[in-house]
């Protein structure tokens, strides 16, 4: 069985972007809505909520899954755990609501992911879970807790995207993200993938921080955060009542 695609957050050093995406997600299909794609998504989402249109054939997110919290690996250091929890506690309420729906699906590890990345999220595995690896110690050393929050919420943004968000909503959000400039190593700026554009914008929206002086990510220009996030707010509030 091929390895599930991974989402990587590149670590942007002083002058170079040092990592790429090791898998490409194909969104949209001419197949019937009840058919799953190779990542287990239906209409763009692996799981469905009763209030989410377009994903009726996806697996229902159970009350137990919704109530569960992040799964921290036993090797995650106390300082790293504190960074994750602080990032979640400081996120805007609607981002907390969305992450709270899916954090019970996450297996969180600390350490340096492959290819020089600062963070990595594996999507599309047969278990339906999301292994996330974060180089929290390395990011904190360079950008402090502000950088750690950006890292945490970027990677959890991938989980929210893949697990919950229908294609139509994702397309609406992507259309509101400005195009980047240049094409750094084929993955940054104007060449950033749709998935990375969303995760980077989600992290900025969740932290209400466009990331000035944090050279971490795909060089995606920030949208107007409140306007861009309005559809996510509506989705989160509908999900809370489902």
Range of the domain at 173: 6-240
Could you tell me if residue 21 is inside a domain? Answer: yes
CA gap 147, 211 in Å, rounded = 8
SS3 for 72?
A: strand
For the ranges 14-18, 117-121, 201-205, the one whose mean pLDDT is highest: 201-205
Question: Is the whole-model pTM more than 0.75?
Answer: yes
Residue 27: both structure tokens together: 């969104």
Residue 1 lies in a domain: no
Structurally, the chain folds into a number of domains equal to 1
Residues 41, 164 contacting (CB under 8 angstroms)? no
pLDDT at 208 over 50: yes
Average per-residue pLDDT for the chain: 83
pLDDT of 2 = 46
d(CA 27, CA 201): 18
């Amino acid at each position: 069985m091929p390895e599930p695609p991974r989402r990587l957050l590149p670590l942007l050093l002083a002058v170079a972007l040092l990592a790429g995406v090791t898998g490409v997600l194909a969104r949209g299909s001419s197949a019937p809505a009840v058919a799953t794609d190779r990542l287990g998504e239906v209409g763009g989402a692996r799981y469905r909520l009763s209030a989410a249109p377009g994903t009726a054939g996806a697996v229902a997110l159970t009350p137990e899954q919704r109530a569960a919290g992040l799964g921290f690996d036993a090797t995650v250091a106390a300082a790293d755990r504190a960074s994750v929890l602080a990032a979640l506690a400081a996120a805007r309420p609607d981002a907390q609501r969305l992450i709270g729906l899916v954090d019970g699906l996450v297996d969180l590890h600390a350490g340096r992911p492959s290819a020089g990345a600062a963070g990595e999220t594996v999507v599309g595995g047969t278990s339906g879970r999301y292994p996330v690896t974060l180089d929290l110690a390395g990011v904190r050393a360079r950008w402090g807790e502000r950088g750690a929050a950006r890292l945490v919420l970027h990677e959890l943004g991938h989980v929210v995207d893949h697990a919950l968000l229908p294609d139509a909503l994702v397309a609406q959000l992507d259309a509101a993200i400005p195009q980047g400039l240049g094409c750094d190593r084929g993955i940054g700026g104007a060449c950033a993938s749709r998935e990375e554009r969303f995760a980077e914008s989600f992290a900025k929206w969740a932290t209400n921080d466009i990331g000035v002086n944090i050279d971490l990510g795909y060089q995606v220009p920030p949208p107007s955060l409140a306007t861009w996030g309005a559809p996510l707010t509506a989705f989160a509030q509908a999900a809370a009542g489902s």
